[in-house]
């Protein structure tokens, strides 16, 4: 039987009329597609359609097409299912994948429409009037004690404490050093500082070089405790306990030994070349009261910095979130089932968890019903693709959103979903020095700043159309959303009326 | 959101959608506490006939029931005698009624289909207060909420002490005549005429909105309605009327009565200063406004509004943070006037000593003088 039992997904074509044999494609491809034997040759079976060669070919000589090979149609036996079986029949094991869920599940964001002002109330022009996006993350008291002193001066007895101010309600999600390159993390850190927002270390510790960005960093404490020490915990403005991740709810992580070079090893505090295995649960958290202990241990260790708890959105997310709020968390990071990852078994990525839209709605509603919404900020992630999604997520009840995949795409990622191979041609999801060195942190940072600034402009434009000039007046304002094409039960869960109502 | 509303009786109360409306407002106070007849506020409102379309008008007078000053004066409208009986049974259980009577009216051809209108001067029963452990005010608020949501065909539209709200579907001046306001004397009056963009069939939807001694007349559409409503629900308020003004009234009640914030501070929550202005302050002041905006983010009222709020100690006028609706104030001797239009003030006070346009988000507060 031939080695190549599976046909190539893509066909790489080099136009030899145009090719000047400069060999840039050979250098640029992280997956070893190209070779040179008198002329440039391509092994299509290795191509992941990441476009690195296409972008860097000075002669535009390379085209990549989907392999048009016909498969006998079968409504039930989708081609992808057949390919999965062929792969597993060949090499026993789970099918790995990267990035977020790529299955065509209903995308609720795309069924929500935003309101605008006409006649009865004026819309506001964001170019002429202030339009405020500033957001405070953290626990807030349910009321303020304000008194007048004997001279009639106003005295605030319980000022807001331990909150983090962000200029835009968009932060960067946790992507560890190890899963992405140090240059990618550098770019994100620079961008977070310039934007006045936050980045998140993910579970890979914090490289010494990033300590100067401390005011814009959330440090993560995950089940593997990689790189967690007291200086690290105190390095950021908040600590996040990562319980789960949207792309792989309920399971641990595995960073293969070949990605654990000297720098990653030092940052993660594990021997070079060993696999970094994150357990599925935290082995000191088997229940909600254990979470409370860790939350307060981290608060004690950091002088009471805000603590965030990150969970994957699962069926019972509302009750879990309520428990987390009562356990003392200051922020709840909800990671929807479209959230990205460096590596996940496809079966989990594609079939476990629930959409972020539903999770925001039910968590916000549950916390309000219990009168404890003020105790936590809700950060929504896992499927935020555009400024429209930002607006909708906040209108459903989130305080802010986090973006991971969108940030990577801004830095060149083509969503080839091969992060787990460590061959990322764009220098993002790789530790190979010849690949990571091609991502210039300043270039990446500029693109991230451009992206977030663009989305901010768009959010402001929509707010103006809504006649709202502060983001908090959008938060939980489901009255300004209508659904189109969702079933009544989903509408009720979302707390959104159908169009026309 | 109307999703949870299925009870047929509720249809009497509102038509399941929020009604945007524009309006005219006027109010004045005699800061010495001297009482003047209700015909004065009717004359002020008559000038602003243009600002309404005959689909809602109303008034609130303060100091009008001195003989029952210690009783809660519940003004209730009933759809039917059955509704009235059900409501009165609930009242009997919970309050001692000092006096009950039909609200005097002078029917005219421009005010049609009036509901049954009665008033009850009452105090919470002592054993009920002990049983529930609530303050008198909280007890009355909860009772009003209960009647308005649970008793079919009954609606309490006024529940303060020594004050009363009078409202109907019609032009303000006709509503004032209908209720014979000239026969009452009060130290403060507010009035409202309404221009809703569809046809409400219900008297309860007219302004002022009232809870305890708080009455609100409002011109505006709240763009943050969903946020404000859901915020209030966390504190036990039930927004049953789906109107913006109800939200305004409850926010004032929450901030000033329940959270005991000074009026100026409550105003800077609802019409919050911009961050760019807060950033220019320092130290305690900056911390105060940063805390207010963060903690009370759900109480920021966004969108165009001008309100006049009446309460036992005085009147307050406030505009939204970028002044998208008109509001004028004036002063003469012990009187302070607040109105949508200067003309409405000059009609009842031709030569004020001072007349000005209050700045966006900056309240005009006119309190009774000490001892008044």
pLDDT tens, residue by residue, A473-484: 999 999 999 999
We report the CATH number of the domain holding residue A21 as 3.30.70.20
pLDDT of residue B242: 65
Interacting residues of B114 by C-beta distance below 8 A, sequence separation 6+: B105, B107, B168, B178, B203
Q: Do A160 and B223 touch (CB under 8 A)?
A: no
Q: Do A144 and B292 touch (CB under 8 A)?
A: yes
Q: In this structure, are A177 and A62 located in the same domain?
A: no
Task: Tell me the chain A residues in contact with residue B229 when contact means C-beta distances shorter than 8 Å.
Answer: 479
pLDDT digits (tens, 9 = 90+) for B80-133: 999 999 999 999 999 999 999 999 999 989 999 899 999 999 999 999 999 999
CA nearest A427: which of A140, A38, A29?
A29
Q: In this structure, are A217 and A306 located in the same domain?
A: yes
Please say which residue of A45, A77, A97 terminates a domain. Answer: A97
Q: In this structure, are A232 and A348 located in the same domain?
A: yes
Q: Which domain holds residue A91?
A: 10-97
In this prediction the ipTM stands at 0.92
Task: Tell me the chain A residues in contact with residue B296 when contact means C-beta distances shorter than 8 Å.
Answer: 144
pLDDT of residue B244: 81
Residue A348 lies in a domain: yes
pLDDT digits (tens, 9 = 90+) for A333-345: 999 999 999 999 9
Task: Tell me the chain A residues in contact with residue B22 when contact means C-beta distances shorter than 8 Å.
Answer: 120
Q: Report the alpha-carbon distance of residue B251 to residue B255 in Å, rounded.
A: 6
Q: Report the alpha-carbon distance of residue A193 to residue A219 in Å, rounded.
A: 15
Q: In this structure, are A455 and A339 located in the same domain?
A: yes
| Helix residue ranges per DSSP H, B76-201 | 81-94, 126-132, 136-150, 172-178
Q: Report the alpha-carbon distance of residue B324 to residue B318 in Å, rounded.
A: 11
* pLDDT over 50 (residue B14): no
Please say which residue of A48, A69, A97 terminates a domain. Answer: A97
pLDDT digits (tens, 9 = 90+) for A351-374: 999 999 999 999 999 999 999 999
CATH classification of B20-224+306-367, choosing from 3.60.20.10, 3.40.50.920, 3.40.430.10, 2.40.50.100?
3.60.20.10
Please say which residue of A44, A77, A97 terminates a domain. Answer: A97
Q: Report the alpha-carbon distance of residue B311 to residue B326 in Å, rounded.
A: 22
Residue A337 lies in a domain: yes
Residue A104 lies in a domain: no
Residue A124 lies in a domain: no
Residue A35 lies in a domain: yes
Q: Report the alpha-carbon distance of residue A69 to residue B309 in Å, rounded.
A: 74
Write the CA distances from B171 to A120, A254, A299, B56, B193, integer angstroms: 20, 73, 61, 6, 6
Testing the interface with B: which of A472, A480, A495 to mutate, by most B Cβ within 10 A? A472
Which of B3, B235, B265 faces A497 most closely, judged by CB atoms?
B3
Mean pLDDT, residues A280-284 taken together: 94
Task: Tell me the chain B residues in contact with residue A119 when contact means C-beta distances shorter than 8 Å.
Answer: 197
* pLDDT over 90 (residue B16): no
Which of A130, A468, A474 faces B274 most closely, judged by CB atoms?
A130
Q: In this structure, are A368 and A232 located in the same domain?
A: yes
Which of B221, B225, B302 faces A470 most closely, judged by CB atoms?
B302
The three-class DSSP label of residue A488 is helix
pLDDT of residue B13: 46
Instruction: Count the domains in chain A.
Output: 2
Give the 3-state secondary structure percentages of chain B, helix then strand then coil, rounded to 5.
35, 30, 35
Q: In this structure, are A256 and A357 located in the same domain?
A: yes
Residue A87 lies in a domain: yes
Mean pLDDT, residues A239-268 taken together: 93
* pLDDT, averaged across chain A: 96
* pLDDT, averaged across chain B: 90
pLDDT of residue A297: 97
pLDDT of residue B202: 78
pLDDT of residue B4: 35
Instruction: Identify the band that residue B199 occupies on the pLDDT scale cut at 50, 70 and 90.
Output: low
Comparing alpha-carbon positions, the chain B residue that sits nearest to A492 is: B3
pLDDT digits (tens, 9 = 90+) for B205-259: 888 999 899 999 989 888 999 999 999 999 988 877 667 888 888 899 899 989 9
Q: Report the alpha-carbon distance of residue B138 to residue A144 in Å, rounded.
A: 20
The active-site residue out of B23, B122, B267, B349 is B23
The three-class DSSP label of residue B143 is helix
Q: In this structure, are A87 and A220 located in the same domain?
A: no
Q: Which residue has the tokens 């479209």?
A: A338
* pLDDT over 80 (residue B11): no
Residue A138 lies in a domain: no
Which of B221, B233, B291 faces A144 most closely, judged by CB atoms?
B291
Any catalytic annotation for residue B87? no
We report the CATH number of the domain holding residue A212 as 3.20.20.70
Comparing alpha-carbon positions, the chain B residue that sits nearest to A473 is: B224
């Amino acid at each position: 039987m031939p080695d190549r039992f599976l046909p190539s997904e893509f066909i790489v074509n080099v136009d030899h009329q145009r090719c000047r044999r400069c060999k840039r494609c050979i250098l640029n491809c992280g997956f070893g597609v190209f070779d040179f034997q008198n002329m440039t040759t391509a092994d299509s079976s290795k191509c992941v359609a990441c476009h690195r060669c296409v972008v860097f070919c000075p002669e535009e000589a390379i085209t990549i097409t989907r392999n048009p090979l016909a498969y006998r149609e079968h409504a039930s036996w989708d081609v992808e299912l057949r390919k999965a079986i062929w792969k597993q029949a060949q090499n026993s094991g789970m099918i790995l994948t990267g990035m977020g869920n790529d299955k065509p599940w209903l995308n609720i964001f795309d069924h929500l429409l935003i309101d605008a002002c006409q006649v009865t109330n004026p819309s506001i022009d964001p170019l002429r009037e202030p339009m405020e996006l500033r957001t405070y993350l953290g626990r807030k008291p349910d009321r303020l004690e304000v008194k007048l002193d004997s001279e009639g001066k106003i005295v605030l007895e319980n000022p807001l404490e331990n909150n983090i101010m962000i200029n835009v309600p968009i932060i960067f999600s946790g992507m560890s050093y190890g899963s992405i390159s140090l240059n990618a993390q550098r770019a994100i850190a620079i961008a977070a500082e310039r934007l006045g927002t936050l980045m998140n270390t993910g579970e890979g510790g914090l490289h010494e070089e990033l300590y100067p960005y401390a005011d814009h960093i959330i440090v993560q404490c995950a089940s593997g405790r990689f790189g967690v020490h007291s200086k690290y915990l105190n390095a950021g403005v908040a600590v996040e306990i990562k319980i789960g991740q949207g792309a792989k709810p309920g399971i641990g992580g595995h960073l293969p030994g070949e990605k654990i070079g000297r720098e990653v090893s030092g940052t993660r505090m594990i021997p070079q070349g060993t696999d970094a295995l994150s357990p599925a649960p935290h082995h000191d958290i088997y229940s909600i009261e254990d979470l409370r202990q860790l939350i307060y241990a981290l608060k004690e260790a950091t002088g009471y910095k805000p603590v965030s708890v990150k969970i994957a959105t699962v069926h019972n997310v509302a009750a879990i979130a309520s428990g987390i709020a009562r356990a003392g968390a200051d922020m709840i990071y909800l990671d929807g089932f479209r959230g990205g990852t460096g590596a996940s078994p496809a079966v989990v990525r594609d079939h476990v968890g629930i959409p972020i839209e539903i999770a925001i709605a039910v968590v916000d509603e549950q916390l309000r019903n219990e009168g404890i919404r003020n105790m936590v900020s809700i950060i929504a992630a896992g499927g935020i693709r555009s400024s429209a999604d930002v607006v909708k997520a906040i209108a459903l009840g989130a305080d802010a959103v986090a973006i991971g995949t969108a940030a990577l795409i801004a830095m060149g990622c083509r969503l080839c979903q091969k992060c787990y191979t460590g061959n990322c041609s764009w220098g993002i999801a790789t530790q190979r020095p010849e690949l990571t060195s091609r991502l210039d942190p300043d270039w990446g940072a500029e693109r991230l700043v451009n992206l977030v600034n663009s989305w901010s402009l768009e959010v402001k434009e929509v707010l103006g159309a809504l006649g709202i000039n502060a983001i908090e007046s959008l938060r939980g304002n489901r009255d300004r959303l209508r659904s189109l094409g969702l079933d009544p039960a989903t509408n009720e869960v979302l707390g959104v009326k159908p169009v026309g109502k | 959101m109307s999703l949870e509303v299925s009870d047929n009786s509720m249809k009497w109360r509102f038509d399941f959608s929020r009604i945007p409306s524009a309006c005219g407002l006027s109010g004045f106070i005699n800061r010495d506490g001297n009482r003047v007849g209700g015909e004065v506020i009717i004359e002020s409102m008559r000038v602003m006939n243009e600002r309404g379309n005959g689909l809602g008008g109303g008034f609130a007078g303060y100091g009008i029931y001195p003989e029952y000053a210690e009783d809660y004066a519940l003004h209730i409208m009933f759809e039917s005698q059955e509704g009235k009986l059900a409501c009165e049974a609930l009242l009997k259980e919970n309050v001692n009624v000092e006096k009950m009577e039909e609200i005097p009216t002078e029917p005219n051809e421009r005010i049609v289909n009036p509901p049954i209108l009665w008033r009850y001067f009452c105090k919470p029963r002592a054993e009920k207060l002990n049983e529930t452990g609530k303050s008198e005010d909280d007890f009355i608020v909860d009772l009003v909420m209960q009647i308005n949501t649970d008793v079919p065909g009954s609606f309490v539209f006024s529940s303060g002490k020594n004050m009363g709200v009078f409202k109907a579907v019609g032009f303000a001046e006709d509503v004032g005549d209908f209720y014979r306001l000239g026969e009452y004397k009060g130290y403060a009056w507010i009035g409202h005429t309404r221009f809703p963009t569809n046809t409400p069939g219900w008297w309860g939807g007219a302004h002022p909105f009232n809870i305890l001694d708080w009455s609100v007349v409002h011109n505006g559409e709240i763009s943050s309605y969903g946020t404000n409503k859901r915020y209030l629900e966390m504190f036990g308020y039930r927004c049953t009327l789906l109107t913006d003004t109800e939200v305004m009234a409850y926010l004032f009640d929450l901030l000033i009565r329940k959270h005991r914030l000074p009026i100026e501070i409550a105003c800077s929550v609802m019409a919050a200063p911009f961050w760019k202005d807060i950033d220019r302050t320092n130290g305690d002041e900056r911390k105060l406004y940063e805390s207010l905006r963060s903690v009370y983010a759900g109480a920021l009222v966004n969108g165009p509004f001008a309100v006049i709020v009446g309460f036992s100690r005085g009147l307050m006028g406030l505009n939204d943070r970028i002044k998208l609706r008109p509001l004028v104030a004036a002063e003469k001797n012990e009187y302070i006037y607040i109105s949508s239009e200067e003309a409405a003030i000059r009609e009842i006070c031709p030569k004020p000593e001072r007349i000005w346009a209050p700045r966006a988000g900056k309240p005009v507060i006119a309190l009774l003088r000490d001892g008044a």
